[in-house]
Structure 1
Amino acid sequence: MKNRVLIQITFNYETSVLEKDILQIGTKFFVPSKMKGKAITGGSYRKYNEKKFIDGLVKEEKTDNGFIYGMKDELGNWVTFTKALHYVNVSMCLLDAVYDDKMIQIMNEIDTIVCKYNVIVARVCSLEDDFWQNNEDPQFYEVYGKSMEGIKTKYSTIYTGEQIIDVEYNPGHSHIANEIWFGSCWSMWFSKGYYKFIPKEVLESFKSCFKNDSLKDDVIKIVLHPRVWDFALTENREKQWAFRRWTGIDEVAHYYMNQSKISNDPAVSIDSEVNCQHGGLKRITYFFDNKDEIVPKSKAYKSKTYELDETGTVIWSSEELMENK
């Protein structure tokens, strides 16, 4: 499996992929030789032609239908433009040699795009690590000669009696809820559209990372550790877990996936409008110990509660000591 970086950017539905900065993000870093798209190739890859590719996208964007358009070279670099039901996504994969050579330019490009357009969330990570962190099939370990030691399994809810890998025990596993990514990886960008899921104050107060920067246009950029390729280091895996714990991102994802696990001792509690007392549409409570680490409610020293409106703006917040503390 080749060493490559994965770049994913999620835009609001109204965003056009024909915007110059977005459309050219791939061709700035590799020369495409193949393209695909329903209106131009029927969905299979054929020889790349820039005019046909753009003309196809122009036609697609005039309809209300979703689409997937892609381009790639012969080495393994690729980019896809996807319009789904609610959001527009750009995914790009670059070989390690390409990324390492142009890392600063690539990261600056992402900064620009995230701040300039209606980006909800963006991320960069190792494609190989992302695969293994989210792979549920034990057979791949045998195929690639990887040890299953320490890997947690569970019984599949789809195939009776079949064991699959329980990725919830992996620090880099992802959830997709309402077409939005929830997870923890090397570099992450969050904008206004994400704050209705996790309050901005919670994201910008996360400290167990290499960088947590506030960019223009209300964007937060979090880099967990200096090098993208150092994902397997113990201290960097712990940073992934720390981000998950601090934001309660799994609890939030499960809530929006309608998979909320009923817990008598939650670290993060999410309530709907029914329980909001200050005009909010959602109420989130985080429980902290006396070192400001998120912990289960039974071990908490204090709690912080936020009420959010439909845009994710915090309209009310409160910090309280727990009883008997």
Structure 2
Amino acid sequence: MVSSPRCPALRELCVSIARGVDSLCIISETLERLELDMMNGLEELTVNAPMLRALNVHACFTWRKPVAAIYSSRLELLWWSDAFDPSFVVFSEMANLQQLTTFNIPVYGRFDFKLLQDSLMLLQHFPVVSQLDLKLNYERDLSRYVYLMNIVNKLPNIKILSLWLHTKGHSIGASVFHLLSICPGVRKLKVTLRDNLKVDTPCTSVCACQQENWNTSYTLDILEEVEIRNFRGSEHDFAFVETLFTMSPVIRKMTITLHHLASPSELLRSLGNLGTCFEIKYDTSEVSYEPLFSLFPETPDDHCS
């Protein structure tokens, strides 16, 4: 129905919350943006769209083994938050891929966690990409789980690392510095803390997250720009910024936006290196930073009951 013979001018297509489609094949000479969201029960996907520039696949295969073939040599943006196995998912050569996004990577959990395994296979499938977006999730009570980030041992060669962290009050140092240790080419680091300070209070010094070693045995020689949003002002947040400056002698610009409930501190400004443009912003608008989950802006119909 949506392939070129019936839709010869189609540029954008979003299929959301559609049931009963077990096989989907789209062949389009004009399609540029495609989003498939929560197509529960999808078993086989084929997309042949030479003009496709952005693709988002989210929760369609319901974490079963997907069978997919994506032929889109011009693809620039790939969001894949679903099951993945390179033995059954085929991508054509994507020399223009600029941004790779995958969400819901657990920092603590169980070793047999299927979602983490699929995310790792996806990340290792693309050797080079300009920007990598990851969303890391912490459990509130870590006592029942093990630290999983050491399993993440390979990421694409990237220039920009964008992290969205729902920490629930835990320290971010161990997980972030581990990722940086396997990303030697990062020039810009963007960290967004998604905590609600009314609920996600800082954890205690005996919490498991503060027992993990921060891997600081390397130098971030080319990291030039850092942006941290929703800075909470906890003790381990200050330690994170101070360690970043110590490991990154060439940081030219550091921008920190305080959470609207965080208290301003002169200590924060004193952490900067000589020659670094250090900008501290005070959020008075109570902005809730959220990662984009859709290629398409919301419309009034999205909120109809």
Classify the TM-score, shorter chain: under 0.3
Relative contact order (alpha carbons < 8 A, sep ≥ 6): 1 or 2 greater? 1
Bigger helix fraction: 1
